[in-house]
Amino acid sequence: MYDINQVREDFPILSRKVYDKPLVYFDNAATTQKPLCVLDAMREEYLNVNANVHRGVHWMSQQATELHEQARETVRRFLNAKSTTEIVFTRGTTEGLNLVASTFADECMQEGDEVIVSTMEHHSNIVPWQLQARNKGIVLKVIPMSDDGILDMEAYKSLFTEKTRIVSVCHVSNVLGTVNPVKDIVRIAHEHGVPVMIDGAQSAPHFKVDVQDIDCDFFVFSGHKVYGPTGIGVLYGKEAWLEKLPPYQGGGEMIEHVSFEHTTFERPPLKFEAGTPDYIASHGLAVALDYVSKLGMDNIAAHEQELARYAIQRLQEIPEMKIYGKLRVEELRDENDYNRRKEGYGFDAVGKNSQLLSSNSQHSTFNSQLHDAVVSFNVGNIHHMDLGTLLDRLGIAVRTGHHCAQPLMDRLGVLGTVRASFALYNTKEEIDTLVAGIDRVRKMF
Ligand code: PMP
């Protein structure tokens, strides 16, 4: 484990005050704070080796290129991809999802072909497919979920037809914290010869992801949610897929040769990286990934698991508290939860986890029972916005609203929730502050 006090010193923003109250930052699912090493590295690069990458013969351009390509190797290691050619830099999860939706639909889908998504997707894994539906007449099919936020895997299996072309689902719900059984999802899709894209925006920051173990065809995440800078993200794609898909945007860097008559393209990953990449941010991301790797993803997962368990326990003490998703404390009591996550959360039908839960679960063989560092709730009749606004006045930053998952809100039958999301630097004392804050607001109403 790491020393939390020492870690907090790496994030100076955490010691600032808001409305004269110590900041409690629980909006980490939206974006995380940055350690000094990331900020220093980016400043250092601008100060000392700033030059455009890939195209210069001069020393600084070569240095900048080296940092950028080293960053690709750091990401490869972080995801355990086979090769750096499988790592495409994007602006973030949203761009990765759009890139695949657009190029995959162009290359592999025709009118009437189907994509499977789930009820708990972020808008960025719904709308890009809807744009393709509008352009190409493709059809969205949706994996239903139970009232407590677990994907119905039997229904998932029954969604496949001869027109299913791709599955695109989140690894972890940004609202419920449900960790989906992505290995099972991939295995079932592959049995039908269908590739799978995983939205890893909420998994990559919290536990070890191994794309080879999951065997997904595409995996996307955002740098800013993993303590890195904004404006940089990653698309992992199996080499064969990246070779097969057409370019997303045209411009510099992505071409091999251009003439007015005929243009040939670079091989992946450059084929998908038109224009000047955010090479300062890729370097910042690499420093952030090194930072979390040094702390240990297993240690981070264990720490956050402990926070989630504690938060659920404490929040349940509040009268009229409604927590969304399957968040039973007894399920979180197992200290080995994070070890199972380590396995890419793909433990199979006869795994320890399914046994643990088979007694109270109708889909026990596939169920995803783990919870990530996200808790969504409402309290009595207090509007989520009122609760969020009043907590803010106490220095507590939580997110309120639909969390870019309106279809999920519809399924839950609510307009919105309050969401507290945790990171490697949060503490139990901060959770106590949140609980006391909610109690104070509740008494005002
Ligand atoms: N998917 C999920 C599950 C998310 O939580 C988010 C961010 N809230 C996104 C996609 C979009 O990420 P970004 O805005 O960084 O592109």
Examine the pLDDT at 420 and tell me if it is beyond 70: yes
Q: Whose CA is nearest to atom 12 of ligand 1?
A: 93
- What's the confidence (pLDDT) of residue 201? 98
- Contact (Cβ atoms closer than 8 angstroms) between residue 436 and residue 404: no
pLDDT band, residue 350 (cuts 50/70/90): very low
Domain assignment of residue 131, yes or no: yes
Closest to 172 measured CA to CA, from 156, 149, 196: 149
Kindly report the CATH number assigned to the domain that includes residue 323: 3.90.1150.10
Pair 74, 134 in one domain: yes
Residue 209 located in a structural domain = yes
Q: Is 332 in the pocket of ligand 1 (CB under 6 A)?
A: no
pLDDT in tens, 13-64: 999 999 999 999 999 999 999 999 999 999 999 999 999 999 889 999 999 9
170 Cβ below 6 A of ligand 1: yes
For residues 230 and 251, state if they share a domain.
Answer: yes
Query: Is the pLDDT confidence value at 234 over 70?
Result: yes
Distance from the alpha carbon of residue 361 to the mean position of ligand 1, in angstroms? 29
The verdict on 307 and 322 lying in the same domain is yes
- For residue 174, give the ligand 1 atom closest to its CA: 5
pLDDT of 387 higher than 60: yes
- CB distance 202 to ligand 1 below 6 Å: yes
| Whether residue 307 has pLDDT greater than 90 | yes
For ligand 1, atom 6, which residue shows the shortest CA distance?
Answer: 201
Same domain for 307 and 410: yes
* Whole-number percent of the chain with pLDDT over 90: 85
Q: pLDDT for 184-197, tens place per residue?
A: 999 999 999 999 99
Where does a domain end: 234, 268, 292?
292
pLDDT over 50 (residue 326):
yes
pLDDT digits (tens, 9 = 90+) for 364-383: 333 344 667 999 999 999 99
Ligand 1 mean position, distance from CA 48 (Å): 32
Same domain for 226 and 116? Answer: yes
From 168, 173, 202, mutation site for ligand 1 pocket: most ligand atoms within 8 A of C-beta:
202
CA distance 84 to 379: 47
State the average pLDDT for the chain. Answer: 90
Query: Within this chain, do residues 236 and 145 fall inside the same structural domain, yes or no?
Result: yes
Given 242, 270, 292, which residue is the final one in a domain?
292
- Do residue 10 and residue 91 come from a single domain? no
* 125 and 186 assigned to the same domain: yes
pLDDT at 79: 98
- Based on the residue annotation, tell me whether 216 is a catalytic residue of this protein: no
Domain, as residue range, for 419: 4-28+296-327+371-444
Final residue belonging to a domain, choices 244, 276, 292:
292
Q: Mind giving me the DSSP string for 90-155?
A: ESSHHHHHHHHHHHHHHHH--TT-EEEEETT--GGGTHHHHHHHHHH--EEEEE-B-TTS-B-HHH
Q: What is the pLDDT of residue 356?
A: 31
Average pLDDT, stretch 411-437? 97
Domain identity same for 283 and 311: no
Q: Is residue 40 part of a domain?
A: no
Report the relative pairing of strands 114-118 and 87-90 from DSSP bridges: unpaired
Taking the CA of residue 121 as reference, the ligand 1 atom at the shortest distance is: 3
Q: Which residues contact 348 (CB under 8 A, 6 or more apart)?
A: 183, 184
Q: Does 341 fall in a domain?
A: no
Give whole-number Cα distances, 162 to 71, 104, 249, 397, 437, in Å: 40, 17, 30, 47, 53
Q: Is the distance from the beta carbon of residue 118 to the nearest atom of ligand 1 less than 6 Å?
A: no
Residue 230 CA: nearest ligand 1 atom is 15
Same domain, 13 and 95: no
243 and 301 belong to one structural domain? no
H helices of 234-364, in order, are: 239-244, 279-295, 297-315, 329-332, 337-342, 352-357
- pLDDT band (50, 70, 90) for residue 355: very low
What CATH number does the domain containing 245 carry? 3.40.640.10
User: Ligand 1 center to residue 91 CA distance, Å?
Assistant: 11
| 375 and 274 both lie in a single domain | no
Q: Which residue has the higher pLDDT, 230 or 326?
A: 230
Model pLDDT, residue 56: 84
Tokens coding 247: 């370019």
User: Residue 175's pLDDT band (boundaries 50, 70, 90)?
Assistant: very high
Check if 121 has its Cβ closer than 6 Å to any atom of ligand 1.
no
pLDDT for the residue 80:
98
How many structural domains compose the chain?
A: 2
